[in-house]
Chains A and B, each alone.
Chain A
Amino acid sequence: HDDEELARLTSAPRCSEKLTATAAMVRLSRLSETEVLYQPLPTYITEVQADGMTEGWRHKITVWFDQLAESFKMSTETLSVATNYLDRYLSCETCGSLKFQLASVASIFLASKVEEARPFKTADFVTLSDGIFSAADLRLMELELLCTLKWHLHPPTFHTFLNLLLVLLEHDKVDTDLVGERA
């Protein structure tokens, strides 16, 4: 069944549109506007967290996200989105270690549903968490996360910026080539 699904996905159509330099410029300027909506509080660990969270916790979780991405073949974009969700949640709510873990799991679960062609199932996480969290825990946390994020689910990520900058560079290169030819 999974192979079938995979075959269906790899035969799925791709996008035929290419961004023009102008469109990339417009998107870049708009992204810096919307970025404000998606900005976590840079000092949330000291200013919001009051239940023992340290830099170490966040580091551990990002390493775990990386491992998950590797074993489940998730895109790095999804990881950036999940990290944004988690940071924004932690900018509003203080968490003890158990809730912190649940929020992390819910962030990657939510990001995979929003971004991935083959989203996670709750059962995957119940297994991954060794049964510490139930499907119901995850579902409730997901809702709490969504409300705290005010349903803003499309953060501009590092990749969004990089892709747009690459488009601009590419066009720039073409333009300079043309100028060179003419000269």
Chain B
Amino acid sequence: MQAYDVGGELGKGQWGTVFRGKRVRDGLRVAIKRVRAGDPVEGVNFQVLREIKMLKGVKHENIVELVDVVPQEEGLNMIFELMATDLEKVLYGTTPTEAEIKGYAAMLLEGLAFMHAHFALHRDIKPANLLISFEGILKLGDFGYARYLADENCHMSDQCCTLWYRPPELLFGASEYGFGIDTWSAGCVLAEVGLKHPLFRGETDLDQLAKIFQITGPPDETAWPGVSSLRKYIRFSKNDNPLTVRTLLNNARLAPDFVDLIVGLLSLDPKSRDSAVDALDRPFFTALPRPVARPPRKHL
């Protein structure tokens, strides 16, 4: 670790502590994620290994860069480029302009489009995992749940995505899933950006479904062919006072083309959900004001 000067603590995560730091050689500002090796008997935690494997393979402007990995005593230091803040803090601590919001939306979808083109899933898209650099560039962070879709027979966990951002197919125990889980989460994040509060705030898996269907109405075989044969499918009764995502967002005075973008990402049936590339083609991104990336006004 002589190559880095370790500074103050930035935060504590599930895996360990994050410190601010500087690379001695050139003064590069870094964030040092010190992960405990987990069980000292089992060596490096396999989830940490998989995160490193993924980060070494995907290099893109909208994906956080893993600069280095340095072992130390019973743990590991993952060295990342230092980021200024994250979308959650920007959203709840400042008032981003329309053009900046458009920029964040575009950068989130660019990052996802890149991952999906490389056959990788992030599986934990939420505002706190969307990091923002000092230049205002949004980058996908926290790859603890990310994985490659190695081949079509690979078994995948259904325990991924933070509850509020988890898509209905996972909650219904679908026997297969794909890129749609990230785009659903992205839709939830963008709605949250517009509304300034999370869209679906469930407390349990079942409650999460209830919260979703309160707004979208429960799915049927027409809207989502095959839904009733999913392993954990439960019939929800029709809501007396049905509200659609569209009316909810319109009522909150979101621009109509922004609403179109979000509604396209929040289709209950993953097959008819917009892909990240589809979403980037929406008129929202070509209409004025143009998307911009500006340095965030508040730092961590």
Task: Write the residues of chain A forming the contact surface with B, with a CB cutoff of 8 angstroms.
Answer: 9-19, 23, 26-27, 30, 34, 77, 109-110, 113-114, 117, 119, 121-123, 135, 138-139, 142-143, 146-147, 151-154, 163
Contacts and interface: CB of A to CB of B under 8 A. Distances in A.
B16 to A, nearest CB: 17
A10 B54 CA distance: 24
Given A110-B49, A114-B53, A163-B151, A15 B176 contact: yes
B41 A15 contact: no
A12 B156 contact: yes
B157 interface: yes
Given A12-B156, A12-B158, A114-B53, A17 B44 contact: no
Nearest to A110: B49
Contacts of B176: 13-16
B149 interface: yes
B158 A139 contact: no
Contacts of A34: 57
The 5 closest A-B pairs by CB, nearest first: A16-B176, A17-B178, A12-B155, A113-B46, A16-B178
A14 B175 contact: yes
B17 to A, nearest CB: 20
12 contacts: A13-B174, A13-B177, A15-B149, A15-B178, A16-B180, A18-B152, A77-B150, A113-B49, A114-B50, A119-B46, A122-B43, A142-B43
A16 B177 contact: yes
Given A14-B176, A114-B50, A139 B43 contact: yes
Interface in B30-88: 37, 40-44, 46, 49-50, 52-54, 56-57, 69, 71
A129 to B, nearest CB: 15
Contact of B44 (A10, A117, A146, A152): A146
Given A27-B119, A135-B41, A146-B71, 8 more contacts: A13-B156, A15-B149, A16-B270, A113-B44, A113-B49, A139-B41, A151-B52, A151-B56
B104 interface: no
B184 interface: no
A119 B42 CA distance: 10
B24 interface: no
Interface string B115-144: 001110000000000000000000000000
Nearest to B53: A153
A138 B43 contact: yes
Contacts of B170: 13
A46 to B, nearest CB: 30
Nearest to A143: B71
B14 interface: no
A14 B156 contact: yes
B241 interface: no
Nearest to A151: B69
A142 B44 CA distance: 8
A138 to B, nearest CB: 7
B154 interface: yes
A23 B49 contact: no
Contacts of B178: 15-17
A19 B41 CA distance: 39
A10 to B, nearest CB: 7
B119 A23 contact: yes
A47 B153 CA distance: 40
| Interface-central residue, B43, B71, B158, B176, by most chain A CB under 10 Å | B43
A95 B225 CA distance: 59
Contacts of A26: 117
Contacts of A146: 44, 69, 71
B200 interface: no
B179 interface: yes
A117 B119 contact: no
Given A110-B49, A138-B43, A10 B155 contact: yes
A14 B157 CA distance: 9
A110 B48 CA distance: 12
Contacts of B40: 139
Contacts of B157: 12-13
A4 to B, nearest CB: 15
Given A110-B49, A122-B43, A13 B155 contact: yes
